[in-house]
Structure 1
Amino acid sequence: MSTTSADTEASVAAGVQTAIAAYAQALDAGRTDDIADLFVPDGVAEIAGMATFEGRDAIREGYRGFSPTGPQLHLVANTVITSYTGEEAMAVSDLAFFQRGETGWAVQLVGRYDDTLRRRDGVWKFSRRVTTFVP
């Protein structure tokens, strides 16, 4: 991994983790504008086998179809930065999606995020996020 003096692995990881956590929080709250704003203008959100949204407007509109109908929670863990430069980082994370029903919280899906992020004006944003669910 190459770095500059201002870019340590820890600082890149912190910025990437912030973007990943902000995405999960916005998704669970149904804040589609916030989700779209976490992507670069020409960003791509791919949900394997379901849909691909290209650009912020398409991401915003596409995620409206996933707005929560009840309490839900995306837990993201085991994030590993696989490569980075001063302006781009790649990461993989595991995810578990929970919904609360009549009998309590239950896991609905598990999967993985494969992310490419770019730093814009000091903030890490997704340029591509691929969500893959594990059967």
Structure 2
Amino acid sequence: MSTTSFDAQADAEAAVAAGVLAAIGAYAQALDSGHTDDIAELFTPDGVAEIAGVATFEGRDAIREGYAAFAPAQPQLHLTANTVVTAVSEDEATAVSNLAFFQRGEAGWAVQLVGRYDDTLLRHDGVWRFRRRITTFLP
């Protein structure tokens, strides 16, 4: 492999990773703001949001309705970290991330739960969107 083709491949992988990270960050921001329309738009039209042991929402309308039940009643913050893009092609990627969910109450901010996201994303209409997002809460 020539240096030029190696550089092009590295550039392509970096662009995919940037798109994946942008989708993951936008999801956390929309979730914490209670913007269910924005959450739904982050998924492909037939996308699936699975919250292990809680619910599975298939398609944007179901995702929008399902996430409305999780709209924040008080300030909250999802921190997503340690994201690793595990497989990459030009139009599909998988990633795994850790998450910590905080809420602010009378005593200040407190961790409510921790978990993991397992994602499959597709480039849809030129934008990286979730095809499937599995949220698993850890004991």
TM-score interval for Structure 1 and Structure 2 normalised by the shorter chain: over 0.9
- Mapping for residues 31-50 of structure 1, pairs under 5 Å: 31-50=35-54
Please say if 1:27 is aligned against 2:53.
Answer: no
Partner residue of 2:97? 93
Match of 2:13 among 9, 12, 31: 9
Please say if 1:66 is aligned against 2:66.
Answer: no
State the distance in 2 between where 1:107 and 1:66 align: 17
State the distance in 1 between where 2:95 and 2:116 align: 10
- 1:86-120, CA deviations, whole angstroms, 9 ceiling, x for partnerless residues? 11000000000000000100000000000000001
State the distance in 1 between where 2:12 and 2:92 align: 13
Match of 1:76 among 77, 80, 86: 80
Structure 2 alignment gaps of length 5 or more: 1-5
Structure 1 alignment gaps of length 5 or more: none
Residues paired across the two proteins, number: 132
State the distance in 2 between where 1:58 and 1:121 align: 21
1:73 positional shift: 0.1
CA root-mean-square deviation:
1.3
Percentage identity across paired residues of the two chains: 74
Tell me the TM-score normalized by structure 2: 0.92
Match of 1:120 among 120, 124, 129: 124
State the distance in 1 between where 2:122 and 2:105 align: 37
Aligned with 1:70: secondary structure? coil
- 1:34-69, CA deviations, whole angstroms, 9 ceiling, x for partnerless residues? 000000000000000000000000000000000000
State the distance in 2 between where 1:90 and 1:68 align: 28
Partner residue of 2:3? none
State the distance in 1 between where 2:79 and 2:129 align: 19
1:84 positional shift: 1.0
Please say if 1:110 is aligned against 2:114.
Answer: yes
AA matched with 2:59: G
As a proportion of its length, which structure holds more helix?
A: 2
Structure 1 moving runs of 4+ over 3 Å = none
The structure having more radius of gyration, on CA atoms, is: 2
